[in-house]
Amino acid sequence: MRRKEKEIRDKKEIEEIIGRALVCRIAVSDNNNPYVFPVCFGYKDNCLYLHSAPEGRKIEILKKNNKVCFAIDIDTELVESDRGCDWGIKYLSVIGFGRALFVEKPDEEKEALSIIMKHYSDKDYQFPENSLKKVKIIKIEIESMTGKKSGY
């Protein structure tokens, strides 16, 4: 990271940012063409969990190339200035890299969906077998991630 004073190295602080975020953006590459998509997600044990329709562009791309980059940001706020070049954004963010895997076993799918739901709610949910057939669960094993803060 170029601006070392903005880097967040503490894993707990990085995980707090992840825990507060509502959206995660996933970046993939399809034959050297970038594709980014926003997702609801869950996080546990250095892994991100996502759900998707069982078919579609992101699934097809991940089947060919499971390398991903992800970006999360919270507490974003525009910082105005009297000078045009001095405007900025105040934020906390996390950028990471990993590999996406498809979760196939029903018990693991239910656990992943529970992790996702716990990110947004304190309620416990049941996931009937017929519902599991309508989703594809993606687990991203995080290989590296860094945090950054600006304006804090």
- Residue 112 sits in a domain whose CATH number is 2.30.110.10
CA dist list (Å): 53 to 9, 20, 83, 137, 146: 35, 25, 46, 9, 29
Q: For the chain, what is the domain count?
A: 1
Domain carrying residue 135? 4-150
Residue at 150: amino acid letter:
S
| Residue ranges for the chain with pLDDT beneath 70 | 1, 3-5
d(CA 5, CA 96): 19
Q: How many whole angstroms separate alpha carbon 20 and alpha carbon 25? A: 14
- Give residues with Cβ within 8 angstroms of 40, minimum separation 6: 22, 23, 24, 50, 51, 116, 119, 120
What is the structure's pLDDT at 4? 65
pLDDT value at residue 132: 87
Assessment of whether the complete model's pTM goes beyond 0.85: yes
Residue in the block written with tokens 């034959």: 31
Which one, of 56, 51, 20, lies nearest residue 35 by Cα?
56
pLDDT of residue 1: 61
